[in-house]
């Protein structure tokens, strides 16, 4: 049974992105900042290999890491929670969600007033507690909604529960959601009910968020459509406006989020468990609390071994982030940063994938792991992280044996290939040279011609190794002629293992080695 546990450490960035200046950021690095705190702990994540990530040389590395790691760049033109999560789920946003530092435009407000039958007050960025202090009484007197925003892409409506019943407030939010489309598609419309007497107004627990629906198909939708479970923990359900989610639980903070994720390990399901741990951002990042942030990070690091010890065979854990929020930089807002990605589980080899071009590669990889066609805007790195299977290792061994028979006195390069048929039969081939050079045949073609001349065409995998006589020094990819011959007889999605050592290899497909190839179909 396959399961992916995807945990987003909200705002845990790992260093300034190359385009940070475009977002008003400089000298931001959330993890580096908190690593200077005496409360910072980095035991489990160090052992997993997080310190080996590109650009994280300020943290201790690990010679024998147990997880695959890489650093991700954000492709979307935004640095907020919604856009970050949508990209993790496969969707790149070409423009940021709109913000309103000068309040909402006339036409939006008048449409809202017409739709709800109530006037509006404020219409500015405001603190949620101050806004009810300053406008609460006028609101009670006039019955007008208090409409305000913040640095985020939000349309917030505050109303006293004695003046506007909850249902009416929620109804007004739905109407606002209808109006706020196209260029005014704010991330969230938020109902902010409050109660109490003048001077003692307090907000109630009935806040409700009306999120923007993702503008395209996410990996959550694809998983749900394929009948898999998508279990959302924390604010994930809200971020996706419930789309693609099959079950969800709302949490209050990191401790509960971690607890629910741990409990999910005990549930019987195939699919994705998607958790957001919000405290890093909400309680410490925005509030510029370096020590608090470091403590929360230490708590997560200390919780991980319990989670890992309970993982089952097909489980894959992915730990990442949606943006940065350096608690020690010059502002309280999010920061445009690289995010970390740590991938751990039985099927995963501890490779370092360097720096990758988009958060959306996570969705593409999850899609491929579940055997779905979904890749979204990303590129899957699944084949780069999967541990070799028995079959792959056996085929590599056969290719290495074939290389021993190489006849290559002229070039000094010996090559071996092994071709697997659907019933398990393996055809081996080596390169065979000639004093007149041109009759030379490559290892791949030797194997293919041997098999085809025995009546076989049902090829499922090939392994190739080669190089100067002696131990392998790296991949030795098939030449153009061999690729053409492979294209004639092998399926496009056939894996080709380019051996880099005795039991290590790059997994490619034939289609990747020879895209847009000339195939028998062109001869029809
Ligand atoms: N060679 C192969 O066997 N396979 C390839 O696809 C690349 C090249 C051999 C042919 C020749 O004997 C030697 O490597 C140097 O080109």
Domain stop point among 187, 210, 233 = 210
Q: In this structure, what CATH number is given to the domain that contains residue 46?
A: 3.40.720.10
Whether residue 262 lies inside any domain: the answer is yes
Q: What is the domain count for the chain?
A: 3
Do residues 400 and 355 share a domain? Answer: no
Do residues 259 and 375 share a domain? Answer: yes
Whole-number Å distance between alpha carbons of 314 and 311: 8
Whether residue 100 lies inside any domain: the answer is no
Query: Whose Cα sits closest to atom 13 in ligand 1?
Result: 413
Residue 446 CB less than 6 A away from ligand 1:
no
Residue 278 CB less than 6 A away from ligand 1:
no
Beta strand segments in 73-187, E: 120-125, 145-149, 154-160
Whether residue 101 lies inside any domain: the answer is no
Do residues 504 and 438 share a domain? Answer: yes
Do residues 249 and 359 share a domain? Answer: yes
Cα–Cα–Cα angle for 493, 496, 499, rounded to 5 degrees: 160
Q: Which residues pair with 464 in a beta bridge?
A: 417, 498
Q: Which atom of ligand 1 is nearest to the CA of 410?
A: 12
User: What separation in Å is there between the alpha carbon of 477 and the centre of ligand 1?
Assistant: 9
Do residues 199 and 268 share a domain? Answer: no
Q: Which atom of ligand 1 is nearest to the CA of 440?
A: 12
Q: Which pair of tokens denotes residue 112?
A: 């809202």
Q: Which domain holds residue 243?
A: 3-93+217-385
User: What separation in Å is there between the alpha carbon of 441 and the centre of ligand 1?
Assistant: 7
Q: Is the Cβ–Cβ distance between 456 and 426 less than 8 Å?
A: no
Do residues 396 and 437 share a domain? Answer: yes
3 state SS of 408: coil
Residue 451 CB less than 6 A away from ligand 1:
no
Domain stop point among 164, 180, 210 = 210
Residue 448 CB less than 6 A away from ligand 1:
no
Domain stop point among 186, 210, 234 = 210
What does each of the 524 residues of the chain score in pLDDT, given as a tens digit?
999 999 999 999 999 999 999 999 999 999 999 999 999 999 999 999 999 999 999 999 999 999 999 999 999 999 999 999 999 999 999 999 999 999 999 999 999 999 999 999 999 999 999 999 999 999 999 999 999 999 889 999 999 999 999 999 999 999 999 999 999 999 999 999 999 999 999 999 899 989 999 999 999 999 999 999 999 999 999 999 999 999 999 999 999 999 999 999 999 999 999 999 999 999 999 999 999 999 999 999 999 999 999 999 999 999 999 999 999 999 998 999 999 999 999 999 999 999 999 999 999 999 999 999 999 999 999 999 999 999 999 999 999 999 999 999 999 999 999 999 999 999 999 999 999 999 999 999 999 999 999 999 999 999 999 999 999 999 999 999 999 999 999 999 999 999 999 889 999 999 999 999 999 999 98
The continuous run of DSSP H or E covering 523 comes out as none
Q: Which pair of tokens denotes residue 331?
A: 């502002």
The DSSP output letter for 157 is: E
Choice from 431, 440, 478 to test ligand 1 binding pocket (greatest atom count within 8 A of CB) = 431
Whole-number Å distance between alpha carbons of 324 and 285: 8
Do residues 420 and 364 share a domain? Answer: no
Whole-number Å distance between alpha carbons of 215 and 92: 10
Cα–Cα–Cα angle for 311, 313, 319, rounded to 5 degrees: 50
Residue 418 CB less than 6 A away from ligand 1:
no
User: What separation in Å is there between the alpha carbon of 431 and the centre of ligand 1?
Assistant: 6
Residue 76 CB less than 6 A away from ligand 1:
no
User: In angstroms, what CA-CA distances link 18 with 25, 28, 94?
Assistant: 10, 11, 17
């Amino acid at each position: 049974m396959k399961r992916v546990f995807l945990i987003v450490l909200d705002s845990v960035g790992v260093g300034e992105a190359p385009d940070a200046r475009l977002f008003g950021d400089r000298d931001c690095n959330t993890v580096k900042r908190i690593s200077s705190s005496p409360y910072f702990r980095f035991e489990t994540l160090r052992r997993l290999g997080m310190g080996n990530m590109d650009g994280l040389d300020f943290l201790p590395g690990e010679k024998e890491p147990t997880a695959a790691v890489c650093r991700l760049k954000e492709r979307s033109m935004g640095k907020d929670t919604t856009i970050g999560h949508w990209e993790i789920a496969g969707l790149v946003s070409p423009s940021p969600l709109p913000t309103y530092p000068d309040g909402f435009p006339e036409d939006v407000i008048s449409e809202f007033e017409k739709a709800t039958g109530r006037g509006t007050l404020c219409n500015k960025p405001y603190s949620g507690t101050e806004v009810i202090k300053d406008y609460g009484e006028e609101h009670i007197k006039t019955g007008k909604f208090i409409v305000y925003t913040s640095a985020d892409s939000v349309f917030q409506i505050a109303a006293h529960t004695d003046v506007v019943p909850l249902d009416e407030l929620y109804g007004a939010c739905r109407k606002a959601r209808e109006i706020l489309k196209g260029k005014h598609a704010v991330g969230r419309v938020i109902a902010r009910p409050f109660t109490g007497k003048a001077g003692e107004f307090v907000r109630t627990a009935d806040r409700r968020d009306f999120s923007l629906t993702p503008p395209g198909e996410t990996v959550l939708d694809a998983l749900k459509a394929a009948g898999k479970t998508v279990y959302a923990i924390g604010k994930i359900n809200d971020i996706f406006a419930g789309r693609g989610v099959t079950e969800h639980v709302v949490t209050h903070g990191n401790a509960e989020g971690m607890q629910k994720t741990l409990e999910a390990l005990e549930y019987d399901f195939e699919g994705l468990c998607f958790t957001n741990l919000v405290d890093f951002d909400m309680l410490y990042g925005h509030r510029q609390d370096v020590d608090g942030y470091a403590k929360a990070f230490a708590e997560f690091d200390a919780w991980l071994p319990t989670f890992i010890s309970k993982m089952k065979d097909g489980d894959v854990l992915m730990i990442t982030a949606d943006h940065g929020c350096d608690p020690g930089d010059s502002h309280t807002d999010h920061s445009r940063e690289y995010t970390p990605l740590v991938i751990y589980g039985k099927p995963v080899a501890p490779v370092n994938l360097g720096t990758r071009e988009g958060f959306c590669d996570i969705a593409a990889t999850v899609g491929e792991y579940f055997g779905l066609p979904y890749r979204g805007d990303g590129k899957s790195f699944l084949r780069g992280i999967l541990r070799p299977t028995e079959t792959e290792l056996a085929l590599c061994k056969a290719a290495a044996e074939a290389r021993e028979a190489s006849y290559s006195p002229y070039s000094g390069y010996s090559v071996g290939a092994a071709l697997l048929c659907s019933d398990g039969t393996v055809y081996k081939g080596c390169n065979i040279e000639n004093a007149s050079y041109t009759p030379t045949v490559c290892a791949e073609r030797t194997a293919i011609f041997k098999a085809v001349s025995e009546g076989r065409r049902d090829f499922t995998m090939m392994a190739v190794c080669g190089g100067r006589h002696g131990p392998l020094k790296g991949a030795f990819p098939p030449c153009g002629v061999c690729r053409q011959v492979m294209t004639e007889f092998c399926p496009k999605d056939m894996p080709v293992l380019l051996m880099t050592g005795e039991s290590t290899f790059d997994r490619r497909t034939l289609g990747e080695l020879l895209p847009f190839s000339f195939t028998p179909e062109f001869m029809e």
